[in-house]
Amino acid sequence: MSANINANVLKNFIIKNIGSNHLTEKTAQKAGISKEQFEEANVDENKYLELDEILQDSDLYEQFATMYVEEQDNKKAAKDEEAEKKEQTEIKGKNGAGV
């Protein structure tokens, strides 16, 4: 499912999360990417991964896509929780008004 995330959407998500348009080994480790995964995806042997390198590596693409889906699910859950609280407040208000 998460592999169906649009590449441009995923690029924006990655930039937002890492604060840059490239991924250093240190930043990769903070994102849960192993040193081996980083080195495997680093095709040009520089000290960072560019967005295109991340998106071309299927494992990294999937990992960031999964992170994106999890974030979207968390946002939806927070919205649902907020709506539930609002609904409960409205119900309490209606019940109190009739007394």
Residue 27 Ramachandran class (φ > 0 left, ψ -120 to 50 alpha, else beta):
alpha
* Helix, strand or coil, per DSSP, at residue 28: helix
| Contact (Cβ atoms closer than 8 angstroms) between residue 33 and residue 55 | no
Residue 1 confidence (pLDDT): 43
- Segment 36-64, tens digit of pLDDT: 998 888 888 788 999 888 899 999 999 99
Q: Quote the pTM value.
A: 0.72
Expressed in angstroms, the distance from the first to the final Cα of the chain is 51
Query: Is the torsion defined by CA of 18, 71, 79, 85 positive or negative?
Result: negative
CB of 99 closer than 8 Å to CB of 93: no
1 or 82: which leads in pLDDT: 82
The answer to whether 55 touches 10, Cβ cutoff 8 Å, is yes
Across the strands, what pairs with 50?
Answer: 22
